[in-house]
Each structure stands twice: as structure tokens, then as C-alpha cells.
Chains A and B, each alone.
Chain A
Amino acid sequence: MILKIKTSADVPSSEITPESAYYSRRDIMKAAAMGTAGLAAAATLGGIDTPLFAQAKNYAAPRNPKFVADPTVDPLNKLEEINSYNNFYEFGTGKGDPVQYANKLTTSPWTVEVDGACNKPGKYDIEKMIDFTQLEERVVRHRCVERWSMVIPWVGVPIKHVIDKCEPQAKAKYVEFHTLLRPSEMFGQKTGSLQWPYVEGLRMDEAMHPLAFMVVGLYGKVLPNQNGAPMRIHIPWKYGFKSGKSIVRIRFTETMPKTTWAVQNGNEYGFWANVNPEVDHPRWSQARERRLPGFATSRPTLLFNGYADQVQSLYAGMDKKVLFY
């Protein structure tokens, strides 16, 4: 099989999706034309949750030209696709569940606990952890282990910015990201569908990589709850389950974190989980994927989800098999 690895960091600026591309969506145009009075009405044309979205806090940020996708190859997914098809078991195991139930979640105030091998342990407000004046937008591919993928315009800051504030010690080898544990608002946590809270983790150098992103927004607005508000990580070269949502704790460790899916079923969901067409999931081949909302599993999977040129060096010399699961 031929892997076409595009140098994703070096897309010429002529190929960058124009800033206006997604703002020209019919419903938003209409909303603008009709003025605020017509905003909610027009937004309902956009589908699920759009009225809420139209009123959401503005997080418009300049697009980082280093992290963009070629719109002819990787056109953006619509907001309605990104915010209505989610794996967020805290709100139910169905992919349509989070959009229905996540509105219960209170995301303000939001504090993050920092602990483990670092010099700045403590509890911090989200405003202390994320520099909202430094927000940038990136268009990246998102690849789920279940073989579907999307292209998403996230808004956020590199995870490195957040980690630097914690001043990790030299002995810190890994960093854990814990999702909120609040069964009163997350009914899925009352079931045993997974071990709660959801824990994900990265090796320090992975987390410090420029591609590793702390997301607070989507499509220039505050992140919808079902996508992991108010802050979630996104690791574009790994399968989606590595990208924990609604983060409340960042912990630095010397040993490899026991991540939720690896505990649940280590055979199928390992710690590394780097996207690789040649390493099958036990229940399906990863050679191809479905770019939603497409019908067919017809797209060749790219090594490291197409970011090999940027991240391959992180794994030099590591055993191939260990690496991908």
C-alpha cells in the first residue's frame, strides 16, 4: 500500500482555506442578513444546537498557517457534524447521546488541579492555565479508532504553553490528563461503561510537541460541551480516544499512566495508539477510513494520520509493535 505523506506543515498559503470559508455557511450568512432578531430562527436551519452556538462566546482567533489542511483533500467538516457525532461516554455510549445530554454540564467556574512531579502544584482557574490572548486556530484531521475521520477547525493553545506554567520537574516522564468526574451532570458515570474518571496520558515529549493542542474553541466560538468544554486536548496523530475531554487535572508522573481504555481492554486500545494503516485493531483493519459524512470506507489511512513528517522523530528506535498499540 502506498502512503502519501504530505508535508502538512508546508502547505503553500494559496491552499489555505480562506478565513471566510466557514463563515459563509448559508445559515450564518442569513443570520447576518436578518440581524440579531432573525439569528436564532436562521440558526435552527443549521441543525442541532446551532441556536446555542450562535449565542456562544466568540473565540475567533487567527489561523496558524503551519497547521492547516488542503481544502481540496481535507475539506472542513460542518459544525453540525462535529458537534453531533461524539464519543463522550460520560454522556452515554451512543454517538448521538452527548449532543443531547451534554448541555447539563456546568463549565464555569472551571478549575484545574496540577500535581505530581512539578514545581507549581495546586488548583488553578482555567484563566490561569490558558492564555486567552494567545489563542490560535488550526485545521487538523481527527481520526477515530473506529475508522471514521473528520477535519476540524479547533481554537486553542499548544499544550506546551499549559505545561510550561506547571513547571514539570526533570524526572517527569509522562503527563496525565483527567476528565471531570461529576456523575450528577454526567449520567454515564453512574454506569460501569468505563472506569471513571477518564484518564489519558502522553509521554512528556509528545505532550510538548507543537502539534499537541489544548482546545477551548471550535469554529471560532467557545467549545460545545459535547466536544469537551471548556478545555480538552487534541493529539492529531493519535486515535481519538487519546484526546481527553473536559480536563480537570494535569498530573506529572515518572511511570506510564494507566489510561482508561488500556485498562478497559489493553488488547484493543494501547497507550501509544498512533494512527497506522498497517497495525490492525483486533476487530477491524485500519488500512482504510471513512471521511464523514461519506458513505464508504474508502480513504487510505495515513501513517501518523498524515503527520509523520512532524512526529516520526519522537519514536526513533522504538519497537514498531509496541509503538502503535
Chain B
Amino acid sequence: MLKTGYEQLCKLLNAIATWRYFKPVVFVGCAVPAVLLSIKVIASAWIPSWIPLVDSTIGGLGVDPLKTLLHESGEDGLGVLLACLAITPIRRIFKVNGIQKVRRMVGVFAFFYAFVHVGIYLGLDQLCYSVATCEFRSIVNDVLKRKFIFMGMISFTIMAVLAITSTSGWVRRLKKKWQTLHRLVYVAAISGVIHFIWIQKSDISEPLMWAGWLTLFLVIRVYFAIQKRRVVPARIRP
């Protein structure tokens, strides 16, 4: 009973993964948070009074727009990054090799959100919307003195390197090293979660939930890695 249930689920997931529109649908899914955020940005600047859904006095981004932007872009970045890390465990557990093909795209989306996040920090918090106003010293200070920003920076730097080297050209060029390099995605995720934890004033339940998912994915990864190592010598044995 349980077994057939599992097999049916595997079958269903495989059907989804091999569906023609699987990749486009995942693409749209990854873009949804960006669209929602853009709507809020537009609604905070231009609010047609006949739209009852948008609070006409406060606007789409709320009372503290910068906080909302940083919050949402940060959570989207981390969320999509964790979704990316969920792909391999799902593939292994449910034997759906087909979903592997969206992993790179999801990873690049995660970088996109992190890029927007860091751009908002630089542009609006550190006033880099113009060179004259940009607080260069304050940025250096932030990165060196504030451990939460330092952690974010580590995470962002790794994500940038991985996004740049995500193209087929780089896969070919780096050969075996590519996979080793791209294992750093776990470091990016861990430092992203720590960044999130260190921002909190007192209540860390939200980042701990993310940390929980990350741990789960890591444990699954390690479990399969150990199994593989056990299987290999067995095969070599005469």
C-alpha cells in the first residue's frame, strides 16, 4: 500500500518533470515574487484610487518601503536558493532525474534576487543612486564591522561566482572542478541563513525554519553520498 503510493508519486513527479512545459512553468514560478514586488513598487508610486486592494494612503510597500524591499528581496533570494537545493534531494528520493534540468535556472534566479537585494542596500540605504551621494566609507565600515553584513557578502559573492560560471562554456572549461566549485552553493546557503539569524533582534523562529530546511537537504545529500561510497567498493569487489 505504502509502496505503491510511493511508486505512484514517483511516476507522477516523473510525468511532471518530462512535461513539455515543465521548465517554462518553473521559470514563471521563480519570477512570481519579482512580479509581485514590482507591483508593490508601482503601487507605492502610482496608486489609482479605484483599486480597492491597494491601501491608498500607505501604498504598496508600506510605511517603511526600504525595509519592505530589503525584507522581500532577501527572503525571495534565500527562498529560491533553498528551493534550488531541494532539487537534488527530490531527484534522489523520488527518482525523478528530469527535474535536474531546471536546477541551474533556479540557481540563477536565486542570484537575481540576491542581486536586487544588494542593489537596494547599495542604492537606497547607502545612497549609491548617484556617485556624489554614495557612502563608500560607510559601506566598507558595514562590511568590515557588521558581522551580519559580512556574512551576507560571503553569500552574495559565492552566488555571483556560481551564477557567472553557470554557463555551458564554463562547465566545459572547468571540467571536474566545476562540480567542486558549485558545491559552494551550500556555503552560500549557510551564510545566507546565518546572515538572516544575525539580523533578528530577539525572535529567530523564522530564520530557524529556513535553517531547518537547509539541514534537512544537507542531511539527505550526505546520506546519499555515504551510500554511494558504500556501493562503489561493493562493485569493485571481484
Q: Is the CB of B202 within 8 A of A290?
A: no
Beta-carbon contacts of B55-71 to A below 8 Å, as 1s and 0s?
Answer: 11111001111110000
Q: Which of A264, A282, A284, A293 contacts B64 (CB 8 A)?
A: A293
Chain A residues numbered 17-39 whose CB sits less than 8 Å from any CB in chain B: none
Q: Is the CB of B63 within 8 A of A292?
A: yes
Tell me whether A284 and B66 are in contact in the complex, defined as CB-CB below 8 angstroms, given that A47-B56, A80-B58, A81-B58 are known contacts: no
A85 at interface, CB cutoff 8 A: yes
Which of B55, B124, B126, B203 has the most chain A CB atoms closer than 10 A to its own CB?
B203
Q: Which residues of B contact A96 (CB under 8 A)?
A: 62
Q: Which residues of B contact A297 (CB under 8 A)?
A: 66, 124-127
Q: Which residues of A contact B202 (CB under 8 A)?
A: 89, 93, 193-194, 264-265
Q: Is the CB of A285 within 8 A of B138?
A: yes
A148 at interface, CB cutoff 8 A: yes
Q: Is the CB of A295 within 8 A of B124?
A: yes
Q: Is the CB of A282 within 8 A of B146?
A: yes
The count of chain B contact residues (Cβ–Cβ below 8 Å) is: 29
- Bound-complex Cα distance A25 to B125 (A): 30
Which of B62, B63, B65, B135 has the most chain A CB atoms closer than 10 A to its own CB?
B63
A283 at interface, CB cutoff 8 A: yes
A106 at interface, CB cutoff 8 A: no
Beta-carbon contacts of B124-143 to A below 8 Å, as 1s and 0s?
Answer: 11110100010100100110
Q: Is the CB of A298 within 8 A of B127?
A: yes
Q: How far is the CB of B125 from chain A (nearest CB, A)?
A: 5
Q: Which of B64, B125, B127, B201 contacts A85 (CB 8 A)?
A: B64
Q: Is the CB of B55 within 8 A of A283?
A: no
A78 at interface, CB cutoff 8 A: yes
Q: Is the CB of B124 within 8 A of A47?
A: no
Q: Is the CB of B55 within 8 A of A47?
A: yes
- Bound-complex Cα distance A13 to B163 (A): 59
Chain B residues numbered 97-155 whose CB sits less than 8 Å from any CB in chain A: 124-127, 129, 133, 135, 138, 141-142, 145-146, 148
The count of chain A contact residues (Cβ–Cβ below 8 Å) is: 34
Q: Which residues of B contact A295 (CB under 8 A)?
A: 65-66, 124
- Bound-complex Cα distance A96 to B61 (A): 12
- Bound-complex Cα distance A194 to B200 (A): 13
- Bound-complex Cα distance A295 to B148 (A): 22
- Bound-complex Cα distance A78 to B63 (A): 10
Q: How far is the CB of B104 from chain A (nearest CB, A)?
A: 34
Q: How far is the CB of A278 from chain B (nearest CB, A)?
A: 13
Tell me whether A85 and B63 are in contact in the complex, defined as CB-CB below 8 angstroms, given that A47-B55, A78-B57, A298-B133 are known contacts: yes
Q: Is the CB of A93 within 8 A of B203?
A: yes
- Bound-complex Cα distance A85 to B59 (A): 13
- Bound-complex Cα distance A294 to B59 (A): 12
Question: Whose C-beta in chain A lies nearest to the C-beta of B45?
Answer: A295
Chain A residues numbered 289-309 whose CB sits less than 8 Å from any CB in chain B: 290, 292-298
Interface residues of B (CB under 8 A from A): 55-59, 62-67, 124-127, 129, 133, 135, 138, 141-142, 145-146, 148, 198-199, 201-203
Query: What are the nearest 5 A-B pairs in CB distance?
Result: A85-B63, A47-B57, A80-B57, A296-B124, A93-B203
> Can you sample 14 A-B contacts with CB below 8 Å?
A48-B55, A80-B58, A81-B58, A84-B58, A95-B64, A148-B67, A193-B202, A265-B202, A284-B146, A290-B64, A293-B65, A295-B65, A296-B129, A297-B127
Beyond the given A45-B57, A191-B203, could you list 4 further A-B residue pairs with CB under 8 A, ordered by the A residue number? A96-B62, A265-B201, A283-B148, A283-B199
